């Protein structure tokens, strides 16, 4: 019988797009933890929290064209999500492996960035959702290693200054004030299985 509860800590990396002008949070390390609850058959629910330190390009829309990109900053992003997982091998493993797929949704909350005063861009709080694919490996009965790839998708909102500058950072004829961005992530976890 599958263990009822899985508790794990994880680390990983994000390769986000940052949007068309790279103003959104993109690349950087991730750390966090996760709790999985087995429901029935192949199904489980997962609840996770992660903290990421992601690079962001700083853009001053009011500067001269050649001086608009004035550096990069680290954007802290706290992520909390919940999702449904379906394991291909059901309640068993295959030679210790349990591959799975699923999807989750939650919130991404951005920390303050002092340089936003010039850039006028702010990440704030975003709804996020996306698929995930991975496997658990149980080398011994209770301990496991998890490797997971996921793509968390969130929407960036660009300030009016990006469209009203001369010339504009983003053309108002070709671009909208919001943009959905993909943020591929790779997470590696160490965990412990419980049956209470």
CATH of the domain at 150: 2.40.160.20
Closest CA to 107 of 57, 159, 51: 51
Q: What is the pTM of this model?
A: 0.88
Total structural domains within the chain: 1
List pLDDT tens digits, range 22-31: 999 999 999 9
List pLDDT tens digits, range 131-147: 999 999 999 878 999 99
Does residue 91 or residue 67 have the better pLDDT? Answer: 67
Confidence of residue 65 (pLDDT cuts 50, 70, 90): confident
Percent of all residues in the chain with a pLDDT value above 70, rounded to a whole number? 98
Q: Which domain holds residue 135?
A: 5-194
Confidence of residue 1 (pLDDT cuts 50, 70, 90): very low
3-state secondary structure of 170: coil
The pLDDT of residue 3 is 66
């Amino acid at each position: 019988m599958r263990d009822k509860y899985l508790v794990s800590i994880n680390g990983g990396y994000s390769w986000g797009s940052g949007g068309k002008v790279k103003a959104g949070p993109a690349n950087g390390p991730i750390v966090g933890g996760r709790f999985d609850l087995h429901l029935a058959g192949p199904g489980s629910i997962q609840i996770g929290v992660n903290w990421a330190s992601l690079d962001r390009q700083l853009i001053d829309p009011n500067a001269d064209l050649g001086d608009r990109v004035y550096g990069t900053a680290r954007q802290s992003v706290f992520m909390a999500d919940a999702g449904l997982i379906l394991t291909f091998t059901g309640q068993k493993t295959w030679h210790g492996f349990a591959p799975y797929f699923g999807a989750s949704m939650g919130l991404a909350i951005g920390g303050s960035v002092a340089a936003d005063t010039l850039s006028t861009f702010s990440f704030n709080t975003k709804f996020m959702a996306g698929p995930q694919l991975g496997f658990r490996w149980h080398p011994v009965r209770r301990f496991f290693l998890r490797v997971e790839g996921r793509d968390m998708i969130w929407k960036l909102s660009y300030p009016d200054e990006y469209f009203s500058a001369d010339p504009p950072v983003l053309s108002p004829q070709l671009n909208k004030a919001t943009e959905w961005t993909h943020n591929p992530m790779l997470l590696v976890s160490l965990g412990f299985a419980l049956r209470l």
